[in-house]
Amino acid sequence: MHEDSSSTDEPQSPLGILQLLRNVQRRLALHDEDHSPRVSLYIEAAIRNCLMTQHHNHRTLKPPTTYQPSRQASSTSSTSSSSTNSFNKSIGPPRSNTLDRPKTSRNNNARPIHTRSKSQAATRPRTAHGLYEEERHEPPSKTQTFDVDGRVGDMENQFKELKDMVNNTLSERKGHVDALELAKGRVTELERERDRLESRNERLRTEVDGAKDDLRHLHHELERQKWESNRQIEDLNRQHRETVEDLSRQHRSAVDDLSKELDYLKDQESKEHQQRIEGLTRHYQQELDDERQKKEREIKDLRLRLGNEHDDMNSAMQRKDREMQEMRSAMEGLRSDLERERALKSSLQTNIAELSASNTTLEAKINSLRSQVEFLESDSKAQSDSFANMEARLQDAMRIAEEARQKLIKEETERRVLFNKYQELKGNIRVMCRVRPILHQSEGEQAGMSFPDEKTSAEIVLAGPEEKSSLGHITRKNYPFEFDRVFVPGTQNEEVFGEISQLVQSALDGYNVCIFCYGQTGSGKTHTMSSSDGMIPKATHMIYDTITKLREKSWEYSMEGSFVEVYNEELNDLLTPNDHHHKSKKLEIRHDDARKQTTILNCKTVPLDSASSVETMLQEAQKNRSVAATKANERSSRSHSIFILKLIGENYATGERCEGTLNLVDLAGSERLKHSQAEGDRKRETQNINKSLSCLGDVIEALGKGSGHIPYRNSKLTHLLQYSLGGNSKTLMFVMVSPLETHLKETLTSLRFATKVHNTHIGTAKATKKIKASDY
């Protein structure tokens, strides 16, 4: 500051200014780091200008050798003014530099700006000699050198110019002084600014130091905090680990406890469950036992009741049988009485004849003796009394014989009623099973069959096919079946017919009877039906015998037979040869609903008036059937044959009339129900057999259910047998069974079908006969 005040006291010569500027520059260089570049530039420009001015002054103020020394002073004074002037000219106002600089924040420190016009800037200053620099170097012309007035004028001009210049310089100097003052103010201001900045800088430094200390402190603190935090984190981690371990230990133990508890609960639960199950089992077992006992009691009761009923029925039957027996024996007695009476009558008649002969002889004798009467008057009256007595006895015997005959007829009617009632009680559809014997050893192994119920002969037990258990044990299941009668393999047709003879009798009594044989091929259907001692011949023989016997009871029967077959759902007449020579007409089924009778249009009907005519008819049918059969296939196996016997009876004594039909049906082999691998014609046959057999099953089922609609029309067979199956008829099915193990499956199927039929109850049959009400 001391320097500053001293420098301000110095004359404002360019050198002084230069010095001042250099001082300022130095000081700035020392203190003001921040502002030194700008201020330095300014100062450097000022210094440069000063130097240039100094240099210029130095050059321009050098007095020419030709000049007067008197002028030295003025020159000197003018030198100073011109030097100021030229300084001003050469550097211009000190602030002019700032104008060239780009606008900065400094613009805020707006100060008066000394500008020069372009013309000023363009105009170059003249030298002290009033010449331009260029002119000064030009050599003066000879004329000028020797023209004193001119030169004085020039000098005066120059002097004027110089004077002007000095004035200008003075005014410029004043301007410079002002500028300097301004610069000084500025410098002071800058110094103040610098001081302020320095103090600020100091403060900032202190602050920075403080901040650095703070920072260090903070850093240290941070490090400490970090270390502390790390330690805490580690502690926490350790604690966490420990906690986690503790928790996991606790968790494990809790899980163990829970699983133990769970096991315990499970045990408890399962025990409770088991107990509950056992309790329930006990309870249900108890209930079941109770129920079973109840049911057993009920069954026992029912059995008892049934047994009682059975016993009652048996006793009733026995009573009836006894009655019948008694009746029979009575009839036999009566018959023997009658015979006796007849014998008596004949003996009496012979006696009478003899007596009449003897009478004649006696009359002759009488006549001869009359003469003697007169002679012997007393003896003749006794002879005549004895004759009258004998005649009365003859009349009595004849009356008794007539009474016996009447009783016999009445009893026959009663027998029929009782017999048919008995049949009805047995059921209108009956099933009997017949097992044929093994014909040859070569036929194969015998199936496991037993007939446990020897007494009633109504049961058959079949050992089923072998079944292998998971453990490899081979077992056979037993299949028991029960029917109305089971015929063991050795049974003869005679015995079989004994069972069906009552049905044949029913046909004679005016019922529609249908007996059919069902079973697989080769099971004995044809043998049972059509062999020489089969059901058809036996039935016709029986009918003949019965008809003959019934004639005695005033019954007169007519009998006619037809024989048809159903093949491929077509009806063929077996009594008409059907070859290229004879073409039979198409058979048509006609039903008479009122009479419950069926007729077949265009079908040959043979009147059977003798037993031999039946045999002829059967042979004829067999012949016609064989013609239809091919070599490979037995026609009997693939068609259903139906022997139809119509019986019309009339009792001349009682006025009764009855019309019954006996149908004896030999069905096609039933095994085709399943084993169908046929093609073409065989396939058609098979389909038709299947259809008709299943329709037969459907009809029986529908009859058993009491359905409103019975599907008779679904097949030719059932359509034909409409009035011989169900309501007004009696049906017997023979299920024929093969004894062979190889046929076991088919046997089982046949027996199951038969069981289904056996379980069917078909409504009560009615005879078509008309009996006078007075007879009952």
Ligand X SMILES: Nc1ncnc2c1ncn2[C@@H]1O[C@H](COP(=O)(O)OP(=O)(O)OP(=O)(O)O)[C@@H](O)[C@H]1O
Do residues 634 and 640 lie in contact, with contact meaning Cβ atoms separated by under 8 Å? Answer: no
If one asks whether residue 739 binds ligand X (CB under 6 A), the answer comes out as: no
Closer residue to ligand X (CB): 79 or 637: 637
Candidates 9-17, 295-303, 432-440, 563-571; binding stretch for ligand X (CB under 6 A): 432-440
Residue 526 is assigned to a ligand binding site? yes
Residue 286 is assigned to a ligand binding site? no
Closer residue to ligand X (CB): 210 or 437: 437
Closer residue to ligand X (CB): 172 or 685: 685
Output DSSP code: residue 634: -
If one asks whether residue 519 binds ligand X (CB under 6 A), the answer comes out as: yes
What are the beta bridge partners of residue 600? 589
If one asks whether residue 93 binds ligand X (CB under 6 A), the answer comes out as: no
Q: Which of 437, 452, 465, 607 is close enough to bind ligand X by CB under 6 A?
A: 437
Cα 313 to Cα 293: distance, rounded to the nearest angstrom: 28
CB of residue 699 vs ligand X: minimum separation in angstroms? Answer: 21
Residue 726 is assigned to a ligand binding site? no
Candidates 113-121, 206-214, 313-321, 523-531; binding stretch for ligand X (CB under 6 A): 523-531
Q: Which of 637, 651, 715, 760 is close enough to bind ligand X by CB under 6 A?
A: 637
If one asks whether residue 641 binds ligand X (CB under 6 A), the answer comes out as: no
Number of Cβ within a 10 Å radius of residue 524: 24
Residue 62 is assigned to a ligand binding site? no
Candidates 35-43, 106-114, 520-528, 607-615; binding stretch for ligand X (CB under 6 A): 520-528
Cα 158 to Cα 162: distance, rounded to the nearest angstrom: 6
Cα 520 to Cα 68: distance, rounded to the nearest angstrom: 179
In one-letter notation, the amino acid at residue 301 is D
Stretch (H or E) spanning 355:
helix 148-376
Q: Which of 88, 636, 663, 686 is close enough to bind ligand X by CB under 6 A?
A: 636
Do residues 664 and 614 lie in contact, with contact meaning Cβ atoms separated by under 8 Å? Answer: no
Q: Which of 527, 596, 672, 719 is close enough to bind ligand X by CB under 6 A?
A: 527
Stretch (H or E) spanning 590:
strand 588-592
Task: Look up residue 579 and give its two tokens.
Answer: 């070859």
Q: Which of 525, 646, 716, 743 is close enough to bind ligand X by CB under 6 A?
A: 525
CB of residue 512 vs ligand X: minimum separation in angstroms? Answer: 24
Q: Which of 125, 130, 510, 522 is close enough to bind ligand X by CB under 6 A?
A: 522
Candidates 103-111, 162-170, 519-527, 607-615; binding stretch for ligand X (CB under 6 A): 519-527
Q: Going residue by residue from 645 to 684, which x/- string records binding to ligand X, judged by CB under 6 A?
A: ------------------------x---------------
If one asks whether residue 498 binds ligand X (CB under 6 A), the answer comes out as: no
Residue 554 is assigned to a ligand binding site? no
Cα 158 to Cα 128: distance, rounded to the nearest angstrom: 8
Spatial neighbors of 445 by CB under 8 A, at least 6 apart, are 740, 741, 742
Residue 525 is assigned to a ligand binding site? yes
Cα 570 to Cα 584: distance, rounded to the nearest angstrom: 13
Closer residue to ligand X (CB): 183 or 740: 740
758: nearest Cα among 431, 458, 523, 470: 431
**Cα–Cα–Cα angle for 531, 537, 543, rounded to 5 degrees:** 160
CB of residue 669 vs ligand X: minimum separation in angstroms? Answer: 4
How many residues in the shown chain lie near ligand X by CB under 6 A?
Answer: 16
What are the contacts of 441-449 at 24+ separation with CB within 8 A? 443/740, 444/740, 444/741, 444/742, 445/740, 445/741, 445/742, 446/739, 446/740, 446/741, 447/738, 447/739, 447/740, 447/741, 447/743, 447/744, 447/747, 448/476, 448/741, 449/739
Q: Which residues are annotated as a binding site for ATP?
A: 519-526
> Which parts of this chain interact with ligand X (CB under 6 A)?
436-437, 439, 519, 521-527, 634, 636-637, 669, 736
